[in-house]
Structure 1
C-alpha cells in the first residue's frame, strides 16, 4: 500500500528521520556499529538517519530504509508521525511509526551499517537497557496516545 507521508511536513529545516517499523506485530531493530566516533555505539536502534541535501523527511527515511535494511518505505502503512528536537545535536528530526506485513521479514537485508538486525516486541525494546533512550521515549509516547 503506497501512503503519502508529506501532509505534516511544512518544509521547515530538519536534520534526519527515524522509524519504528512494525513487521507484522514486531519491531525491526538494528544493532548500531560499535565505534567510538558515533553516538550510542552498539545500541539498539531503529532504521533512519541523517538528511542529505534537499531531501524531505520522507525521502530521507526512504533512502535510509533501503540502505540499512533493504525495504521500500512506500510499501508501509503510516501509523503516526511527529517531529522532535534532536538528541545528538540541536535541530529537528522526524519520527515515524510504520507497519508492513509480516511477510516483509523475508526481504530484510542488512546494509553496510550496523552489526545486525532483529524483530522484537515493543515491550522487549522498551525494556532493553541498551536501546537508544530517545527512541524508547518516542515509542512510549505513541503507545500512550
Structure 2
C-alpha cells in the first residue's frame, strides 16, 4: 500500500481485534465535534505526514497499539466533514484477539471498548456519517482478511 501525501484532513481506522470493533468514547465537551459519541481511532494530519503515518500515529497515541503499514488491509478516501474542503482517508485492519492485552488507552476521550460491529452501527451515539464508511471497511476485511 503506497503512502498518500496529497492534501487531506486526517485518517481513521476500522480496527477489529478478533471479531470486535475498537471504539473510543469522545470527551463530553461542547467545544469538540460529536461530544460524548462513539468514535474510531484516528485524527488530524500533522507535519505533512502521509495518510498511513497519520493513522498509525493516531492509533498509537489513542490506544497504544503499534501497527505497521502492512497491517492496513484496506484504504479509501472520502469527503471530510471538517468543513475544510479536503478529503479524509479511512483504513481497516484486523488483529488477533490476544492484541486486546496490548491496548493502552491514551489521554483523549472518556474510554474505549470492544463491541460487535453491528452493535456500534446500531448505536444512536455512534457518529452517524461514519457508519457507511465502517460498513465498507468491514466488507473489505471480510473479503480479504488481513
CA pair 53-75 structure 1, distance change in 2 beyond 3 A: closer
CA distance in 2, matches of 1:136, 1:74: 25
Structure 1: 5+ residue stretches without partners:
none
Deviations 1:16-63 (CA, angstroms, capped at 9, x unpaired) = 000010001110000001111110001000000000011000111111
CA distance in 1, matches of 2:132, 2:27: 22
Q: Which of 114, 117, 127 is equivalent to 1:132?
A: 127
CA RMSD of aligned residues (A): 1.7
Secondary structure at the counterpart of residue 68 of structure 2 = helix
Structure 2: 5+ residue stretches without partners:
141-146
Aligned ranges 1:1-145 → 2 under 5 Å: 5-6=1-2, 9=4, 11-74=5-68, 77-89=71-83, 90-143=85-138
- TM-score calculated relative to the size of structure 2: 0.88
CA distance in 1, matches of 2:138, 2:105: 27
Secondary structure at the counterpart of residue 20 of structure 1 = strand
> Post-superposition shift, 1:75?
7.7
Give the aligned length.
139
CA pair 143-59 structure 1, distance change in 2 beyond 3 A: closer
Deviations 1:106-125 (CA, angstroms, capped at 9, x unpaired) = 01111010100000111001
